[in-house]
Chain A
């Protein structure tokens, strides 16, 4: 093995990838895509229409309309921006409908037509027994509209109707509402870590669990690894295909044995991935520092993260190299790498379950599967209480063994594939290259 040549190949791959415009743009764009959505949502939240919403009310109980109209007044008074006097949210205008129990079906049809004509947003039918508490089933207010996705009115109605109905029922039963509410004060459950005794013997209070930290940090770590993997293996594929299409491969193979060539490429791309992660970590630290939340950054995990990232790049990168070596253009390659993508992305699919039950047998078993280890181990290490001591060596040995196997298999495919031109080989042929060498 000529390490000097491996280094020459690695240096070229690294430089030619990191220097491309596509790479620089992707580095900038990725956070925009990931966090831009959240930002956009916050910005667009108030960008709803502020037109008044007219709702007809068929109060068959005759007991709630006045209360609802009163609540609508209160609600409407909050829809105007106090500083600018601008209408921020739509007002709710409730219109009482006279109820004729004989012609109730007719009334429904007529009101429906008025909704269709856009005269009304919706109409509401309050049942006669809305305040009746003797029944087993809860009474239902019926909300009719042709805009089922617009929920603001329905939600508001549910809240205020319940509140008012309770008030009326309590009064009817002769109970003082304020006493009942006091009795009904909810008891909270605080989420805490554990208490420990410090070296000086004092007892250190348990810290309140920060829900953002416990979920965001593992989530961010696994996403960072995914982004680094996705942004690295794509150039790997493009690089090999360029070498094949531009007929560079034979010149290279005239100077470097195929395995050294492949190894050089993989090392170059590990460098690319670490550069990428380094940049994002510096960015993340800067943001955390700005917000005064640097204690949230899991500094102790960085070493393991880089180790597992390296394993992931070597493992999947070698498969992508082999796939690229079998194809003549990117289109052919995309089909061939789809199964590899699915295997690589599986930890992402399993992430919610693993995050919630990090030490369930399912999570432990899955994180010991070599192809899933890099992402899931880092994830589970970031979720308290962490992993058992034996899991780390087992997963590292397992994923390293799988990596060596993949690199070996890929090397054999790569060697033959790089010199092939013409139609792509069948899977059986590729298997033949691996077995026969």
Chain B
């Protein structure tokens, strides 16, 4: 069964086509990552799933009910929008109760306390929202999103602005909800997080689907065309080596993308002529690299089709 099914959905705002003939399927019980540059249609798609805005054409089904015809029940969905906010003058506990009640769910104080404790906010139940730090209010917002035990959890950039500790707290909570049977659909700009957490990755670019599948299938399409190299000494130039298409300098190591059919061993030979090599790794491109290949500045020149 699919938690979300989108068929040929198009949405335009004035002259801009935000989403174009998009289709996707989010399997129930999975963690589904949404990636794509800013303004590529991620939030629009999520809002359409939430029925906050309606597609011009195409159909959307959520948890087995049609969202486009208005049958779908938003009470079973938890939604954390990208632009998020809370009533500043309300007490944290009251606020959480209010948001759960809006989902038609009466939540006991004990459950709220449990969540606050879990998120390291145990002392804040009776404090006003305006006294929370940014990271804290983000966690409160997350609790508000999942307090009513939704079957589908949609999170738009849930990790942005969180420190590593809070990021782990949130990640653990998300994975636990998944283990309890919820489907999690989240968008992120953090490719490392997407690689680590997502069963499926979906990329949208200029309103169109460009990647969709498990991380393995996506990477398999791109093949093993990446070399990670660290040299002793600085200032070694690799870009003129025959067969190297692009060099991405990470400072402590360099990532070389090879042209199709180039033998890595031959490149290694070239490299040893130029510098002492302390690391040499033949790898699949990272999700980050794939993202940049599709949406980066040179995407127009370089073939963005997987070979």
Contact = CB atoms under 8 A, between A and B. Distances in A.
Nearest to A239: B87
A5 B104 contact: yes
Contacts of B98: 8, 12
Identify whether the interface residues of A are mostly helix, strand, loop, or mixed. helix
Interface string A1-12: 010110011001
A76 B98 CA distance: 73
Chain A CB count within 10 A is highest, among B84, B85, B86, for B85
Chain B interface size band reads 20 to 34
B79 interface: yes
A12 B90 CA distance: 10
B74 A255 contact: yes
B127 to A, nearest CB: 16
A248 B89 contact: no
A134 interface: no
A16 interface: yes
B87 A9 contact: no
Given A254-B50, A254-B52, A255-B103, A246 B87 contact: yes
B111 interface: no
A251 B87 contact: no
Interface string A225-256: 00000000000000000110111101111111
Interface in B35-78: 47, 50, 52-53, 74-75, 77
A419 interface: yes
Contact of A252 (B47, B89, B102, B141): B102
B88 interface: yes
Given A247-B84, A250-B84, A251-B84, A419 B53 contact: yes
A251 B81 contact: yes
A246 B85 contact: yes
B104 A251 contact: no
A275 B98 CA distance: 22
Contact of A250 (B52, B104, B144): B52
Contacts of B141: 251
Contacts of A248: 85-87
B68 to A, nearest CB: 15
B159 interface: no
Contacts of B104: 2, 4-5
B305 interface: no
A16 B88 contact: no
B262 interface: no
A243 B85 CA distance: 8
Contacts of A12: 98
A256 B101 CA distance: 11
Interface in B154-173: none
Nearest to A244: B85
A20 interface: yes
Given A251-B144, A419-B52, A8 B101 contact: yes
Nearest to A12: B98
Nearest to B145: A251
Contacts of B47: 250, 419
Contact of B102 (A5, A16, A246, A247): A5
Contacts of B101: 8
A305 to B, nearest CB: 31
A251 B85 contact: yes
Nearest to A256: B102
Contacts of A246: 85-88
Nearest to A421: B83
Contacts of A252: 102
B85 A255 contact: no
Nearest to B87: A248
B99 interface: yes
Contact of A8 (B53, B79, B90, B102): B102
A246 to B, nearest CB: 4
A254 B89 contact: no
B99 A251 contact: yes
Interface in B230-254: none
B99 A255 contact: yes
Contacts of B81: 247, 250-251, 254
A16 B129 CA distance: 13
Nearest to B78: A254
Chain A CB count within 10 A is highest, among B52, B74, B86, B88, for B52
A242 B102 CA distance: 18
Chain B CB count within 10 A is highest, among A242, A252, A255, A256, for A255
B84 A254 contact: no
Contacts of B80: 251
B102 A253 contact: no
Interface string A329-359: 0000000000000000000000000000000
Contact of B79 (A9, A242, A254): A254
Interface of B: 47, 50, 52-53, 74-75, 77, 79-81, 83-90, 98-99, 101-104, 141, 144
- Across the A-B interface, give the 6 residue pairs with the lowest CB-CB distance, nearest first: A246-B85, A247-B85, A254-B79, A250-B81, A247-B83, A255-B102
Interface of A: 2, 4-5, 8-9, 12, 16, 20, 242-243, 245-248, 250-256, 419, 421
19 contacts: A4-B104, A8-B102, A9-B102, A16-B90, A245-B85, A246-B88, A247-B81, A250-B47, A250-B52, A251-B80, A251-B84, A251-B85, A251-B141, A252-B102, A254-B79, A254-B81, A255-B99, A255-B103, A419-B53
